């Protein structure tokens, strides 16, 4: 594969301009690749760091056609992109869409996603389709309580997922999700892990396994390498995680980065969920790897050679989530502590409004001991707040 | 110092939108700081990665006023900025200019720069003002040949500097420079070094000393740490370099990053030149330090806390210079070798035209042994070319 750099460089059209689009923009600059995003929010997070934003809904045909006309390749940074429309625009314009819209379609529907992975022999928690409260109760009798009830479509950052402790909670849970759902058997995992995989033109690769820590179904911290006791245990668990990730990548169609979330339970690896895009659990690669997941995604979708994925050193990230009770203009205080810290970096997403538990930024720290790093990164994150006092 | 992050963030107005402006833009995104540049070239290198470009000459009063109206702080990435105009616009608008225009004025004129540093007791090579060929010959008799003849203003990347071997070359050299010049005694240096210094709100700091390698007066490679034999020698030389850098920073007015170029000769340190901005010899900090010189400049001029400046690991950079005989549209071939290399990164500046010896990008490699890294980085750089064959 031979690559020529030109000026202006090739243009990547991205459906979505949230924080992932912003970090794609930050990564594309050094490669000489220009980015145009399609996003409904004027001045979306990506806007200040990319060549241009087209203001339009993710499913707006005219917006997507305009994006395709300006782009050499199309990709998406949000599952709300419309696979049918992407296929239509691809057929109309000939502009490649990576990863494949068919993969997006499969992943968008969590039930279809799980079925296709299970059929491919990838180990997943037991699951059932449930469309009403009766089916939910039936699934509970079959799989045992508690269960994880998930909306098939549109959930993210904890929305669309409800843990159901027992049959007496079924009504409330189903009302919250609203039908068209699935359940999964509860997995008493020892640890949650993530592998960021990538499919290139004719090769696949993975970034090192990373531990993920969730609370209320929202990712809070990542620890890379994961804190698995003993080098033998570690390498064996990691090998199994790479095996599952590799099997998953074989099922995906189209180039790009995939976030592969895993459960580690009794030394076994189960697949949790897949995202066909850069993933929050891979933000550590910005400082922690020579090639970040964002640079890797840009390289992959453009058909360029993939970059090296080694871990430079132990790296921990912690999300800065909205800690307010209500929506209000975003104003983060206490930032001087993070800015002044050694071997730590701040990433601010530029969202105009803070909302409860909204992902507003993240803090990364590099060092040696993962436990110490995790404590340090949590302390740094705790030093910032969206809650303001009235003191001068 | 307390820092609040908001959306939209504060805006930094930058005079100049070349590669330094581009890398400032790439560094500002994660901090939530927006950048607007003033540059005469439409679609200048910074343009795709910053919020906006105002197209105008560096000395265009209307352009600079517009920049000031949109900015919370003004800075410059090129010495061709106009200090008088910056002062006027600062007085008119109240927008701070960092570093101080008076420092820019002093540095712009190499003779005034050297005089002020010499007066402050900073060790510099012997120098004389020379306005014509007679004065040049006189200086040669006094200081000995060869001499370095330098235009007082406007030189960069080797332009405006001519080595003069003896009196018989004086006419040609003076004709090339065109009067209004200075000469410096030739320094038989053992090594050239660079320290990137920074002045913050109430503190100064330095990045680790770096070796610089020039050819035809143009920086080719940087090696950090410098290859100084023996740990004792190294720490002593480094200490002296930091002492000189610290004395230089004391003479500078205003916040920001300063590139401080040094000669090491017989264990002594002499100051060569200063740049009141991020400098080519500091590009290694993007991968080699937790805080890059670009992030550091943004932090400093905004009045934010400075970041940590430790070297993460040995880091070498090599410039990708125009290797064509004439100007033509920029098209770099062979890039797959750099993209596929482990622990190496490409930085493309997005200039539309390649010209002989023009700085078009750079390659960075990280590792352990500086000598091996230098060889590797040179090999990577040599794998790319602007010369195209007619082969398919």
A84-115 pLDDT, tens digit per residue, is: 999 999 999 999 999 999 999 999 999 999 99
For residue A247, the distance in angstroms to the closest alpha carbon of chain B comes to 24
Tell me the ipTM for this assembly.
Answer: 0.94
Summary count for chain A: helices (H), strands (E): 12, 21
Residues flagged as binding site of B for ATP: 110, 150, 184-187, 192, 214, 272-273
CB–CB of A299 and B347 under 8 A? no
For residue A196, the distance in angstroms to the closest alpha carbon of chain B comes to 18
Rg value, chain B, Cα: 21
Mean pLDDT of A49-57: 97
Residue B16's Cβ-side half-sphere holds a number of Cα atoms within 13 Å equal to: 16
Task: Report all structural domains of chain A as residue ranges with CATH numbers, in order of start.
Answer: 11-97 (3.40.50.20), 126-185 (3.30.1490.20), 191-388 (3.30.470.20)
What Cα–Cα distance (Å) separates residue A1 from each residue in A247, A261, A302, A306, B202? 25, 31, 12, 11, 51
- β-bridge pairing A11-15 and B11-15: unpaired
**Any residues with CB less than 8 A from the CB of B164 and at least 6 apart, and which?**
B136, B140, B145, B146, B147, B148, B149, B170, B173, B183
A71-88 per-position pLDDT tens digit:
999 999 999 999 999 999
Rg value, chain A, Cα: 21
Write out chain B residues lying below 8 Å of A26, CB-based.
26, 29-30, 49
Longest dimension (CA), chain B: 63
Sheet holding A161-164, edge to edge: A127-130, A181-185, A147-151, A161-164
CB–CB of A350 and B32 under 8 A? yes
Sheet holding B181-185, edge to edge: B127-130, B181-185, B147-151, B161-164
Are residues A104 and A256 in contact, defined by beta-carbon separation less than 8 angstroms? Answer: no
CB–CB of A32 and B308 under 8 A? no
Give residue A34's pLDDT. Answer: 97
pTM over 0.80? The answer is yes
Q: Give the residue from B1, B39, B46 showing the smallest Cα distance to B23.
A: B46
**Left, alpha or beta for A128 (phi > 0: left; psi -120 to 50: alpha)?**
beta
Give residue B231's pLDDT. Answer: 76
Residue of B nearest to A35 (CA): B48
CA B242 to chain centre: 18
Write out chain B residues lying below 8 Å of A347, CB-based.
30
Angle at which helix B293-302 crosses helix B19-28, to 10 degrees, equals: 70
CB–CB of B2 and A336 under 8 A? yes
Give residue B389's pLDDT. Answer: 59
Give residue A392's pLDDT. Answer: 44
**Interface size, chain A vs chain B, as Cβ–Cβ contacts under 8 Å:** 167
Distance CA A153, CA A132 (A): 16
Q: What is the pLDDT along chain B (392 residues), one digit of tens a residue?
A: 789 999 999 999 999 999 999 999 999 999 999 999 999 999 999 999 999 999 999 999 999 999 999 999 999 999 999 999 999 999 999 999 999 999 999 999 999 999 999 999 999 999 999 999 999 999 999 999 999 999 999 877 768 899 999 999 999 999 999 888 999 999 999 999 999 999 999 899 999 999 999 998 899 999 999 999 877 789 999 999 999 999 999 999 999 999 999 999 999 999 999 999 999 999 999 999 999 999 999 999 999 999 999 999 999 999 999 999 999 999 999 999 999 999 999 999 999 999 999 999 999 999 999 999 999 999 999 999 998 755 44
For residue B74, the distance in angstroms to the closest alpha carbon of chain A comes to 18
CB–CB of B342 and A26 under 8 A? no
User: DSSP assignment of B2-54, as one string?
Assistant: ---EESS--EEEEE--SHHHHHHHHHHGGGT-EEEEEESSTT-TTGGGSSEEE
Residues flagged as binding site of A for ATP: 110, 150, 184-187, 192, 214, 272-273
B332 beta partners:
A5
Give residue A213's pLDDT. Answer: 98
Are residues A377 and A317 in contact, defined by beta-carbon separation less than 8 angstroms? Answer: yes
* Chain mean pLDDT for chain A: 95
């Amino acid at each position: 594969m031979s690559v020529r750099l030109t000026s202006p460089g090739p243009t990547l059209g991205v459906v979505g301009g949230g924080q992932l689009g912003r970090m794609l923009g930050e990564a594309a600059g050094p490669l000489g690749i220009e980015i145009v995003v399609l996003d409904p929010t004027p001045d979306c997070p990506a806007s200040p760091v990319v060549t241009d934003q087209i203001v339009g809904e993710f499913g707006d045909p005219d917006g997507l056609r305009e994006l395709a006309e300006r782009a050499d390749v199309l990709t998406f940074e949000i599952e709300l992109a419309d696979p049918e429309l992407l296929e239509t625009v691809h057929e109309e314009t000939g502009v490649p869409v990576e990863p494949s819209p068919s993969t997006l379609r499969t992943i968008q529907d969590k039930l279809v996603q799980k079925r296709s992975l299970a059929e491919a022999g990838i180990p997943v928690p037991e699951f059932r389709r449930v469309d009403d409260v009766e089916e939910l109760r039936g699934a509970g009798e079959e799989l045992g309580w508690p269960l994880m009830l998930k909306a098939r479509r549109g959930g993210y950052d904890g929305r669309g997922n409800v843990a159901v402790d027992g049959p007496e909670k079924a009504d409330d849970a189903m009302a919250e999700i609203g039908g068209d759902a699935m359940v999964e058997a509860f997995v008493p995992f020892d640890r949650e892990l993530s592998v960021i995989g990538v499919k290139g033109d004719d090769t696949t690769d993975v970034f090192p396994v990373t531990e993920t820590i969730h609370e209320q179904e929202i990712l809070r911290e990542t620890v890379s390498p994961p804190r698995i006791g003993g080098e033998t245990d570690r390498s064996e668990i990691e090998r199994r995680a790479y095996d599952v990730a590799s099997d998953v990548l074989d099922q995906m169609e189209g180039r790009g980065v995939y976030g592969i979330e895993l459960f580690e339970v009794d030394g076994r690896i189960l697949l949790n969920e897949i995202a066909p895009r850069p993933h929050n659990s891979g933000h550590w690669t910005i400082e922690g790897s020579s090639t970040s997941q964002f640079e890797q995604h840009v390289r992959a979708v453009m058909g360029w050679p993939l970059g090296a994925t080694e871990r430079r050193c132990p790296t921990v990230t912690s999300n800065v989530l909205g800690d307010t009770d209500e929506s209000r203009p975003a104003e983060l205080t206490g930032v001087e502590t993070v800015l002044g810290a050694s071997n730590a970096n701040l990433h601010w997403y530029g969202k105009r409004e803070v909302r409860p538990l909204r992902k507003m930024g993240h803090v990364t720290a590099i060092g040696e001991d993962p436990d110490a790093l995790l404590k340090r990164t949590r302390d740094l994150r705790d030093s910032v707040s969206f809650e303001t006092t009235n003191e001068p």
